[in-house]
A and B are shown apart, each in its own frame.
Chain A
């Protein structure tokens, strides 16, 4: 039954054992996001060295989808450049909002790795905001970082 695919093993694993779930004392940039309607809330911490997301962690509370998405995100983006991260953001956004599978090529699918576990969300429009919270919060943190970079 496709319905059950929302909570794939990967999602439940990252919900129960979230990776990079801690505050960061030497964060260069942070942002917080919440879905007041759901009661989900998240803090994203970044340590950006040059153009690289050297460290990325999160803390928060919310449903399994929102927490797992944040955990998967930190794991996937750690060590990537800001530019790469923004590209991943776009791909995740397309995936969550149900882009036709033909439009995602195999190369992309391989590049997404574990993030593909989030693809089940597209079937449930009410849960898209749960899964995308971490990503939007990241974007706002990155924006802040760019602004900071530009002022330096």
Chain B
């Protein structure tokens, strides 16, 4: 799909979209235009440039709200998914839990959806509980009812696994948690560019994602939160822009979403991200999903036919992300050899060590596809692998 829009994707065979995506020329040019014509600080100056910058920044928020189907003031700009999760952990969950309470995550989480909760538990005496993952790479949902106890205060779960590609049935899971009055955060880092997300329909309480994994700039991300929850929450960072009135004795907070955006935000990042959203909406999220599924099916079929290659997990629904092992060859050696052939894949534990341990592999090679990838690139990968397997055969 529109590969020609992505200068860097065209020059290489970039199959590491789970880590970050390449940017379309429209986003790159938008960043340039912003710095050439509109750059100033936001929400401050009365001069024309500041007005332009503020408009561009706030229009971005509106575009984002339209993209995930929420209200504009429910979009909090952050540095990325990691900061979004940390914000929810600090401002919402930590004041909510006390010793002995439980926070529930799953065994397939990225470290950024594990460690913030461990820290909350450390500070409060709450206990971290984990939804197991079966051999197919699906959540063991039969155990969910048992795990959602009277002590459970929060559930934080990934939409799509960054290692296995598993698409979790988050709508059903959220409904189950809500039946017991438990709010839910969804880590949408891998999902946001792969499927259409409607936070209202999902009824997610929080939804976190990064701009750079959706063809936008790095350093900008979003925490969506239900207004009713955001309003009750304590600020995350403090400083300028997040206040209404400051005296040396007392400070009152600004309205949403500014209460959570202390300091000068990543204005250009937000503006570039809006351009990425425009690009995705024009391409159509359903078309992107369909195209990536076609690529995934093609890749799965071809990879499975390679002797000694083992794809990790076989989930009921998989997005265009998969991990594999290949004979005796270590993923770093595989990735190195592929790099020489201008194929970029990820090797390692993918910031999901608990999941690696679950499948008893120290590391895997991961292929994660994006909208500009082609079957020809998958062919190149598939052609290269048998030779690599032989080279590193023990």
Contacts and interface: CB of A to CB of B under 8 A. Distances in A.
Interface of A: 1, 3-4, 6-7, 12, 15-16, 36-41, 61-65, 124, 127, 130
A4 B340 contact: yes
B391 A38 contact: no
Q: Most chain-B Cβ atoms within 10 A of its Cβ — which of A1, A36, A63, A124? A: A63
Contact of A130 (B332, B340, B353, B356): B332
Contacts of A127: 332, 336
List 3 A-B pairs, minimum CB-CB distance, nearest first: A39-B362, A63-B330, A39-B363
Contacts of A16: 393-394
Contacts of A12: 391-392
Interface string B327-347: 000111100100110000000
B265 interface: no
Given A38-B363, A39-B348, A39-B349, A65 B392 contact: no
Interface of B: 330-333, 336, 339-340, 348-349, 353, 356, 361-363, 391-394
A6 B336 contact: yes
Contact of A38 (B339, B348, B392): B348
Contacts of A6: 336
Nearest to A3: B340
Nearest to A39: B362
B134 to A, nearest CB: 23
Contacts of B333: 7, 63-65
Contact of A15 (B332, B340, B362, B392): B392
Contacts of A130: 332
21 contacts: A1-B340, A3-B340, A4-B340, A6-B336, A12-B392, A36-B349, A37-B348, A38-B332, A38-B363, A39-B331, A39-B348, A39-B349, A39-B363, A62-B330, A63-B330, A63-B333, A64-B330, A64-B333, A64-B392, A65-B332, A130-B332
Contacts of A39: 331, 348-349, 356, 361-363
Contacts of B392: 12, 15, 64
